[in-house]
Amino acid sequence: MKIHYFDHAATTPMHQDVAKAMLEVMQGPGGNSSSMHAFGRAAKQRLNQSRDLISAAVGCKPAELLFTSGGTESDNAALIGAARAQRKRGKTHIITSAGEHHAVLHTCEWLAKEEGFTLTVLPVDKDGFTSPEQVRAAITPETGLISIMHGNNEVGTIQPIEEIGRIAKENGVIFHVDAVQTLGWFEYRLSEMPVDLMSFSSHKINGPQGVGALYIAAGTSLEPLQHGGSQERKRRAGTENIAGIAGFAAAVDICVNERKKKQPYMDELRKIWIELLHEHVMVPVVINGSEQKHLPHIVNVSFIGVDTETMLMNLDMEGIAAASGSACTSGALERSHVLRAMQLPEEQILSAVRFSFGLGNTLEELEDAAQKVGTIVRRIRNNY
């Protein structure tokens, strides 16, 4: 049976050059980057080289890049650290949107419930957009932090972060952006952008799981979540994951070098996949999210009248990996909070499946997969 991995928004297969970079570290002599001897200095050099490469790729200073365990920690470190720092200035109001990843939404809700912050959760429109003017209208003298993601992980909608960032700057508010899904698809020049904090994750760009980064613009106040050693300029105590960070750097390097040819290819995959679904599926097929401003590798599809969980089980049996939404919540029975925030018709919410493409996917495999999807839909409909 042919298998098709269409769940790259959840995690991506590791690039062979990334594995090679990690293996060099893991098979080499051990070394703690905080140690003063030659082995420690060698580890420190590898750490610095990786930081230099990644910071150059996203357009910031090496000192502005903090290594973490992934996107969730980067989001938590940014939100909790910035909120606590802003509270010392009398700023206790946080703004976010209903379409954010739970790593942001749940953290903001926790800050409101456990630490007494005031939280405004802005709505999104039917395409998943957050309105910059609604952000502006929500700002009060007490607002200290705004968090809006760049590219939505479920429907792929790209948010107007430049405009929102300018509004935040005009009002002296710290602006955090979850860019976990967009790293590798955009040419970031963070030093020129109105962004104070930006979260990244390695395993979304064919790097290792368990590694991420947080951009912290120079001068941005942030209280650390972890205490102990003086690693990461005393912003995150703990021995650095040198092998993982080296792999992350290798993945970023590949992204930079291959972006211009990879992006149009993914656009083509997405376009043809939608065309094939319309051709082979004998129920209404609705695309959720923005038609124009979307990530090239994500497409969220509703097969009207076909239950999401039933569809996913049948896809899995036919060797097709897809998802109902965020990998962090797709194991739960709850329906997508993003689609509900978009206020889509219930029939769209209950039949939505996310397909996401990346390394290893080909135009040729789409025809086989689309035929299988068509067969699955007919089988499910005939059993009702």
Residues catalogued as catalytic:
328
Asked if residues 376 and 20 have their Cβ atoms less than 8 Å apart, the reply is: no
DSSP string, 269-288: HHHHHHHHHHHH-SS-EEEE
Residue appearing with tokens 């954010």: 100
Residue type, 176: H
107 φ, ψ (degrees, to nearest 5): -70, -45
Residues 6+ apart with CB under 8 A from 56: none
- How far separated are the first and last CA of the chain, in Å rounded? 27
Q: Is 345 helix (H, G, I), strand (E, B) or coil?
A: coil
Residue type, 173: V
Pairing of strands 285-288, 298-303: antiparallel
325 φ, ψ (degrees, to nearest 5): 165, -140
**181 is written with which tokens?**
């899904």
Q: Is 13 helix (H, G, I), strand (E, B) or coil?
A: coil
Beta strands in the chain (DSSP E): 4-5, 65-68, 93-97, 118-122, 143-147, 174-178, 197-201, 212-216, 285-288, 298-303, 320-321, 352-356
- Sign for the CA dihedral angle at 72, 86, 233, 162 comes to positive
Distance CA 73, CA 67 (A): 10
Q: Which one, of 200, 355, 176, 194, lies nearest residue 266 by Cα?
A: 355
